[in-house]
Amino acid sequence: MLEMEKDKAIGVFDSGIGGLTVVREIMRNIPDERIIYFGDTARLPYGNKSRETIIRFSRQILHFLQTRDVKALVIACNTASALALETIQKEVDIPIIGVVKPGAKVACKTTRNNRIGVIATKATISSGLYTDFIHQIRPEAEVIGKACPLFVPLVEEGWRKDTVTREVAARYLEELKDKDIDTLILGCTHYPLLRSLIGDIMGDQVTLVNPAYETALQLKELLQEHGIASDTKPQGENPYEFYVSDAAESFRDFANAILPIDIDRAKKINIEEY
């Protein structure tokens, strides 16, 4: 039975394209695994939606991925990890992880002065989930959150290296620079794509934590714990499948710009049917 489980794919979902940073880290760190990715490009951004809406969206996506018979699920969206993970975890019997806990853990290990910054969407910041997780591990830590809502549209517009993006980033991060943080969590899956810019503005004394990378490492452990880690290279011509709820072509172009492989297509589906 477990042998059959091992051959199944990992389901990964995000509100759009940001979760591809998590896919990239899974491909690099667990290359034997098959991946089925869903990007909810018709309904993004999630960062300004209510908890109820995020849970409903997450359930629909989970139902779709279950029809693809995935063996584990990664919620590669900080907002959905913050607002929906606990609810849908109780509704299925496959292992599920989000991106918040792995990032919080590493930030706690990394900080020397107990001053940790978090940049994320408004919903993730106001959920307080990063602060809660950090305080479970390091009660004495001071957590300074900053919502950076414009980062997502700037990345999706392809303006990662534009002077406008640098200007916006400098304004957002100015407040954190004054707070003497030594560790900064990139608390939205789009933000690792601005890593060098953010690092440049914050300076060498601040360590950036990329939850996408930490999530891939935790997923590797989780698969081994459950005895469902693949032990052979994925069979078949396409070990990676990509689905979206809208704008398949621009999704594919963006994916090909950041993934270590070229994908020839992303399939559009009607997620409201699930």
53 is in an annotated binding site: no
Q: Which of 89, 254, 122, 259 is CA-nearest to residue 188?
A: 122
The whole-number pLDDT of residue 168 equals 98
- Residue 272 carries which DSSP code? G
The whole-number pLDDT of residue 62 equals 97
Cα–Cα distance for residue pair 145/122, rounded to 1 Å: 10
14 is in an annotated binding site: yes
Beta strands per DSSP E along 7-67: 10-14, 35-39
Cα–Cα distance for residue pair 31/233, rounded to 1 Å: 8
21 is in an annotated binding site: no
Q: Beta partners for 12?
A: 37, 74
CA 122 to chain centre: 15
pLDDT, one tens digit per residue, over 21-69 is: 999 999 999 999 999 999 999 998 888 899 999 999 999 999 999 999 9
Bond prior to 45 in cis (omega within 30° of 0):
yes
Tokens of 118: 């978090």
189 is in an annotated binding site: yes
pLDDT, one tens digit per residue, over 226-274 is: 999 998 887 667 799 999 999 999 999 999 999 999 998 999 999 999 9
227 is in an annotated binding site: no
Please name the residues in contact with 12: beta carbons below 8 A apart, sequence gap of 6 or more: 19, 22, 23, 26, 35, 36, 37, 38, 73, 74, 76
**Active site residues per annotation:** 77, 188
